[in-house]
Amino acid sequence: MKLKKRTSITAILFMTLLLFSFSKSDKWVLFESTEYGFKVDFPKEPTSNPQTVNSEIGLLKMNIFMYEASNNKKDDNLVYMVNSTEYPDTLINSNKTEILYNFFRNSIDGAVNNVHGKLLSETVITIDEYPGREIRVDFQNGKAVITMRLYLVKNQMYMLQTITETNKDFNNSIKRFFDSFELL
């Protein structure tokens, strides 16, 4: 009788833990920006932090949406971010195929140099037939990995980014975040 009761209690505890683990993963937030033309799932509501930067082609407004998860011990990653930047259409546009190689090369090299990192991988990707790149960058000499997807949609660049500790690289949350991104 005691064995049967113990087995029932164990089964109930197991089912409770199983249900909790599934419900935890379903609490992501759909973030949609009609103004910038995209939607994406974040683990929690992101904050907006627009910035204007001076570039070789003039002032650019970077529309940054970010969720910092570094204080959340249960999250696989430290940061989730989407940046939408509009470039002058006369200079940068995905239809201008002759500029695409240099555009992505400069964007990638700039991102790697800004964090004093090392490029680990680079893959050519697309979204709705628009060109893109996925890169992985060693950050802080092996302590973390930055994974980025860059898409050029006409004259709008979308940059998605996660930062994770190296021992948690290639986790399901990175895939879920990147794969949820859609153009509107």
For residue range 59-106, what is the model confidence (pLDDT) as tens digits?
999 999 999 998 888 899 999 999 999 999 999 999 999 999 999 999
pLDDT of residue 2: 56
Sequence-distant (≥ 6) Cβ neighbours of residue 9 within 8 angstroms: none
Single pTM value for the model: 0.83
By three-state DSSP, how is residue 118 classified? strand
Helix (H) or strand (E) holding 65: strand 58-68
- How many whole angstroms from its chain centre is CA 136? 11
Cβ atoms of 83 and 161 within 8 Å: the answer is: yes
Q: Are strands 130-139 and 118-127 parallel, antiparallel or unpaired?
A: antiparallel
Cβ atoms of 162 and 146 within 8 Å: the answer is: yes
Place of tokens 């650019």: 60
**Which pLDDT tens digit goes with each residue over 14-52?**
444 444 444 445 689 999 999 999 999 999 999 999 999
**What average pLDDT does the structure give for the chain?**
89
Cβ atoms of 79 and 67 within 8 Å: the answer is: yes
By three-state DSSP, how is residue 122 classified? strand
**Which pLDDT tens digit goes with each residue over 156-176?**
999 999 999 999 999 999 999
Residue type, 1: M
Q: Which CATH number fits domain 26-183: 3.40.1000.10, 3.30.1050.10, 3.40.50.720, 3.40.50.280?
A: 3.40.1000.10
What would the two tokens of residue 167 be?
A: 């021992």
